[in-house]
Amino acid sequence: MVDSELKFLWGVSTSSYQVEGGITNNDWDYFTRSGPVKKRISSLTKPSIFYKGRTQIHLQPAGEAVKFWEPQYYEKDFQLAKSLGMNAFRISLEWARIQPEKDQWNREALDHYKKMLISMRKSGLIPIVTLNHFTLPLWILTPPVNITKNIVQQILPSPLRDAPIGEPQSTDPYWNSLRGWENHRTVEEFIKFTERIVLELKDIVDYWITINEPVTSIIGVGYIAGLSPPGFFLDGRRAKVALHNLIEAHIQAYDKITELDDIDADGDGISKRVGLGHLTMYIIPDKPKNIFEVRIINKSNNQAAQNASYFLNDYFLNAVINGEEDLNYLNTLKMHDKTSKDFIIHDDWKNKVDFIGLNYYRRIHVYHSIIIALSSAKFVGGAFANDLNEK
pLDDT tens column, 224-267? 999 999 999 999 999 999 999 999 999 999 999 999 999 999 99
Give the whole-angstrom CA distance, residue 343 versus residue 197.
35
Q: What are the DSSP E strand ranges found in 2-108?
A: 11-13, 88-92
Q: Which helix (H) or strand (E) holds 365?
A: strand 355-367
3-state secondary structure of 318: helix
- The amino acid at 171: T
DSSP-assigned states of every residue in 170-189: TTSGGGGS--GGGSHHHHHH
Assess if residue 275 is contained within a domain: yes
67 inside domain: yes
Looking at the structure of the chain, the number of domains it has is: 1
> Residue 300 and residue 286: Cα distance in Å, rounded?
10
Sheet holding 273-285, edge to edge: 11-13, 88-92, 126-132, 207-212, 273-285, 355-367, 383-384
The verdict on residue 238 lying in a domain is yes
Inside any domain, residue 343? no
3 within a domain of the structure (yes/no): no
Q: Is residue 239 part of a domain?
A: yes
**Angle, vertex CA 311, rays to CA 353 and CA 209, nearest 5:** 25
Has residue 33 been placed in a domain?
A: yes
How much helix, strand and coil, in percent to the nearest 5, is found in the chain?
45, 15, 40
CATH number of the CATH domain containing 155: 3.20.20.80
Residue 240 dihedral angles phi and psi, to the nearest 5°:
-60, -45
Percent of residues, the chain, with pLDDT higher than 90: 83
How does strand 383-384 pair with strand 355-367? antiparallel
Spell out the per-residue pLDDT of the chain, length 391, in tens: 444 455 788 999 999 999 999 999 999 999 999 999 999 999 888 876 655 556 889 999 999 999 999 999 999 999 999 999 999 999 999 999 999 999 999 999 999 999 999 999 999 999 999 999 999 999 999 999 999 887 777 777 777 778 888 899 999 999 999 999 999 999 999 999 999 999 999 999 999 999 999 999 999 999 999 999 999 999 999 999 999 999 999 999 999 999 999 999 999 899 999 999 999 999 999 987 655 555 556 789 999 999 999 999 999 999 999 999 999 999 999 999 999 999 999 999 999 999 999 999 999 999 999 989 999 999 999 999 865 444 4
The answer to whether residue 30 is domain-embedded is yes
Domain, as residue range, for 176: 11-283+356-361
pLDDT digit string, tens, across residues 148-170: 887 777 777 777 778 888 899 99
